[in-house]
Amino acid sequence: MDRLDLRGQSSPGGLAEGAEERALWAQFSEATTAEAFCRSWLTLQCRIIEGVTGALVLLGPADRGPFTPAAVWPNPRRSMKPLTPAAERALTERRGLLSRREAGGPDGDRYDVAYPIEVGGQLHGVVVLEVVPRPEGELQEVLRQLHWGAAWLEVLFRREQQAHDAAEKDRLRTVLDLAATPATHERFFGGATAFVTALATRLDCDRVSLGVVRGGRVHIQAVSHSAHFGKETNLIRAIGAAMEEALDQQAVVVYPAPDEGEALVTRAHGELARLYGAGAICSIPLVDARRVSALLTLERPAERPFDRNTVELCQGVGALAGPLLELLRREDRWLVVKAAEAGRQAVARLTGPRHTALKLTVAVALALVAFFAFAKADYRVSAKTIVEPLVRRAVVAPFSGYVADSRVRAGDLVRASQELCRLDDRELRLERLKWLAQHQQVLRQYQQAMALRNAAQVRILAAQVDQAAAQLELLTDQMERTRVLAPFDGVVVTGDLSQALGSPVERGQVLFEVAPLEAFRLILQVDERNVADLQAGQHGRMVLASFPGEELPLTVDKLTPVSTPREGRNYFRVEARLDKAPERLRPGMEGVAKVEIDRRRVIWIWTHELVDWLRLTLWSWWP
């Protein structure tokens, strides 16, 4: 703002100062670099804050440094070494501070006001002002003004960070778009051609070539904008030589070579540029699984050389597209080639200097195979086994009647002549009383006929007396058989009348089945594939589910030619006997029996079922 005199008119000094200030604000708003921005900003701050005799702005890489002068006021040539301690302290403590500095010169003491430039938790630099002495309150006001003014520098850094982020996002989007190009094709040639063509279009290249490394040599597989190319032409040979030059050095080769960076051999690249007019060439190795699997060679006119950003972009594209292209190439080969390469890789791992664990595993596996191929063991046939009694006696109802009482049920041990159940004898007793009375009546009539010497009547009554006596004897026998007794010592296998008291039974109906505890037989259910190996007299062992810790010896007695289908297979019934039966053995127990056949090779024992199945399957398929 121009200063006004008492008459309201602008003074010549005010006009000059106003024009200078407008020029400073114009420079501040139009600054394109951080240095120009800081110089104009520092000048404006020193004009706003009174009593500033010197000022310094230090900038550098965020949180790392070193921090160097970006602006000095009022004279850029003036030494600002006295302000260094305050700047270092503000950078270390990351806070604004005031410090008094005693001076021995005519200017007297000075105050240093320092404020760090911190954006998003990152330290970018520091501002230091040298001001003349003043009261404490005014010094705090200077620090507060510097705090508010530093917000402009924060805006600068945030703007630069935003621009940098936008450039990085655009660059990342380009890298992803180019790297994803091969994924849209199923065949390697189509994907590789589309990739190099897209790369040439996006980066304004005259030609982009892709070569695959096989056997230490580079083979050109795709050239941009070319579906067909002669692999033996001079151009393709020259491009291959440039790629092999980069392959030998395992590095990115740029021609013409940049001033900074590692010195590399570029002879083949120079020859390619001389013969075919490519002014700028860049060859980039594509790494897959820590080895160079392919190379890219990009060619441009001389007026568009490959700068650092373009090379980094190409490296990023290659880092993502390299493994994808290699995977596509591997999947696009013949099955025989894949198998041969897998075999070569396996042999290389076994014979190479590394992969010790793999070598030990293979050695142990070969030793095991050799051992089992020559070692012999007992060949045994396994079969599900059921324990059955050798004798199974049925206890039937002696006559038709009703169950009066039941003393045992299935599973109970019984002794010989032990009562199993009792039938109701009330009707038998009444019937016996009836016949007993009739017998006595007929007997009296018989005696009277004898007294009267009536021979014909005597013979008739004698027959009736015998009939009554026979009926009495029959009823007495039936009454004695109302008690159903066990035929011998054993165990009740089936039968439980405890829930059927009072129910009728018919003559001959099976009430119980009793088996002895001393005689058992084993029923082996042998698969039809193994029954040919069995014969009578072979020995084996059996383990029951009831007591699996004990092995019971057995001997095969009989093979029956009757098969039973079960679970989709046929099983033959083989009978065997126990050489020694334990006391706790009971009918109906199940287990697994193994019959010893002979000694055979372990590998045959483990694989004969599979081999037999393959033989049968091939036989069924063979025409």
In this structure, are 306 and 184 located in the same domain? Answer: yes
Average pLDDT for residues 320-347, to the nearest whole number? 84
Q: Answer yes or no: is 351 within a domain.
A: no
pLDDT one-digit tens code per residue, 567-589: 888 899 999 988 888 878 888 88
Q: What CA–CA distance (Å, rounded) separates 392 from 380?
A: 31
Tell me which of 70-79, 204-213, 266-275, 331-340 is least confident: 70-79
pLDDT over 70 for what percent of the chain? 93
Contacts (Cβ under 8 Å, ≥6 apart) of 382:
592, 593, 594
pLDDT one-digit tens code per residue, 384-393: 999 888 888 8
Residue 553 pLDDT class (50, 70, 90 cuts): very high
Q: What CA–CA distance (Å, rounded) separates 372 from 231?
A: 54
- Going from the C-alpha of 601 to that of each of 368, 377, 530, 591, the distances in angstroms are 13, 6, 17, 27
Is the backbone of residue 567 left (phi > 0), alpha (psi -120 to 50) or beta? left
Q: What CA–CA distance (Å, rounded) separates 269 from 280?
A: 9
Q: What CA–CA distance (Å, rounded) separates 486 from 490?
A: 8
- 582 preceded by a cis bond (ω within 30 of 0): no
* Of the residues 279, 305, 332, the one at which a domain ends: 332
pLDDT one-digit tens code per residue, 501-537: 888 989 888 889 888 877 888 999 999 888 889 999 9
In this structure, are 75 and 186 located in the same domain? Answer: no
CA geometry: angle at 91 spanning 90 and 94, to 5°?
A: 70
In this structure, are 155 and 197 located in the same domain? Answer: no
In this structure, are 276 and 159 located in the same domain? Answer: no
In this prediction the pTM is 0.47
CA geometry: angle at 123 spanning 121 and 127, to 5°?
A: 130
Domain limits at 236?
Answer: 180-332
In this structure, are 157 and 219 located in the same domain? Answer: no
In this structure, are 91 and 62 located in the same domain? Answer: yes
| Among 248, 207, 249, 209, residue whose Cα is nearest residue 231 | 209
Q: What CA–CA distance (Å, rounded) separates 148 from 38?
A: 15
Q: Answer yes or no: is 29 within a domain.
A: yes
Instruction: Provide the number of structural domains found in the chain.
Output: 3
Supply 469's token pair: 């006596």
Burial of 12 (0-12, 13-18, 19+ CB in 10 A): exposed
In this structure, are 26 and 61 located in the same domain? Answer: yes
* Of the residues 164, 190, 225, the one at which a domain ends: 164
Q: Answer yes or no: is 50 within a domain.
A: yes
In this structure, are 196 and 147 located in the same domain? Answer: no
DSSP 334-350: -HHHHHHHHHHHHHHHH
Q: Answer yes or no: is 377 within a domain.
A: no
Q: Answer yes or no: is 81 within a domain.
A: yes
Q: Give yes or no for residue 5 having a pLDDT over 60.
A: no
Q: Answer yes or no: is 313 within a domain.
A: yes
CATH number, domain at 132? 3.30.450.40
Q: Answer yes or no: is 422 within a domain.
A: no
Which 3-state string (H, E, C) describes 130-174?
EECCCCHHHHHHHHHHHHHHHHHHHHHHHHHHHHHHHHHHHHHHH
Residue 105 pLDDT class (50, 70, 90 cuts): very low
pLDDT for 591 equals 93
Residue 225 corresponds to which amino acid?
Answer: H
In this structure, are 214 and 123 located in the same domain? Answer: no
In this structure, are 303 and 212 located in the same domain? Answer: yes
In this structure, are 153 and 236 located in the same domain? Answer: no
In this structure, are 560 and 536 located in the same domain? Answer: yes
Supply 8's token pair: 């309201």
Q: Answer yes or no: is 453 within a domain.
A: no
CATH number, domain at 596? 2.40.30.170
* Of the residues 332, 349, 382, the one at which a domain ends: 332
